[in-house]
């Protein structure tokens, strides 16, 4: 079991740091499944649970954004098909040429954002830091009832 050091931060073991890194890094190939498995398997470690829950929350946000982009994408495509089916000569509107690349850039931009977050926070987890994702880190702390440095809020 990890020991608390003087600054009120819980010192982590090498195994905990490795699992925290994996919970961040494996979301690139495993999506939400890898962080969920690590979160469920390593519930006894506050450090691993904290990092895995952040990765899981990021994947949830990623899923919501991708669903929104898909709705815009399919609406755009099916509206053009619908116009073409009604016997009108297909005359794509300028909106089509503006939205089509914007939706694609949204897909790629959010994937790039996720990639950068994964790399940065994998490195921080590997160093044993209790680094928080912007917004999602506070939410993960609240879910797990943790204070700064992993100290349980009930222990204060």
pLDDT at 5: 47
Closest CA relative to residue 36, chosen from 20, 16, 55, 21: 55
Tokens coding 127: 């160093």
d(CA 126, CA 100): 39
Tokens coding 66: 């991708």
Contact 23, 34 (CB under 8 A): yes
pLDDT at 88: 64
Vertex 6 angle, CA 47 and 23, to 5°: 10
Locate the domains of the chain by residue range.
Answer: 14-149
pLDDT in tens, 95-124: 777 877 887 888 889 889 989 999 999 999
d(CA 141, CA 146): 5
Three-class SS state of 77: helix
Tell me which of 31-45, 52-66, 79-93, 109-123 is least confident: 79-93
**Helix H segments across 86-135?**
94-126
pLDDT of 6 higher than 50: no
Tokens coding 79: 């509206």
d(CA 138, CA 81): 44
pLDDT at 79: 78
d(CA 28, CA 54): 14
């Amino acid at each position: 079991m990890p020991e608390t050091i003087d600054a009120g931060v819980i010192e982590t073991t090498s195994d905990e740091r490795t699992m925290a890194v994996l919970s961040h890094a494996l979301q690139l190939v495993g999506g939400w499944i890898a962080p969920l498995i690590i979160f469920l398997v390593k519930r006894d470690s506050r450090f691993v649970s904290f990092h895995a829950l952040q990765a899981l929350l990021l994947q949830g946000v990623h899923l919501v954004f991708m669903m929104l982009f898909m709705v815009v994408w399919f609406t755009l495509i099916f509206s053009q098909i619908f116009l073409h089916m009604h016997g009108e000569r297909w005359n794509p509107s300028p909106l089509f040429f503006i939205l089509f690349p914007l939706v694609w850039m949204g897909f790629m931009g959010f994937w790039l954002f996720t990639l950068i977050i994964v790399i940065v926070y994998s490195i921080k987890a590997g160093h044993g830091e209790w680094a928080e994702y912007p917004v999602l880190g506070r939410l993960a702390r609240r879910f797990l009832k943790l204070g700064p440095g992993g100290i349980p809020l009930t222990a204060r």
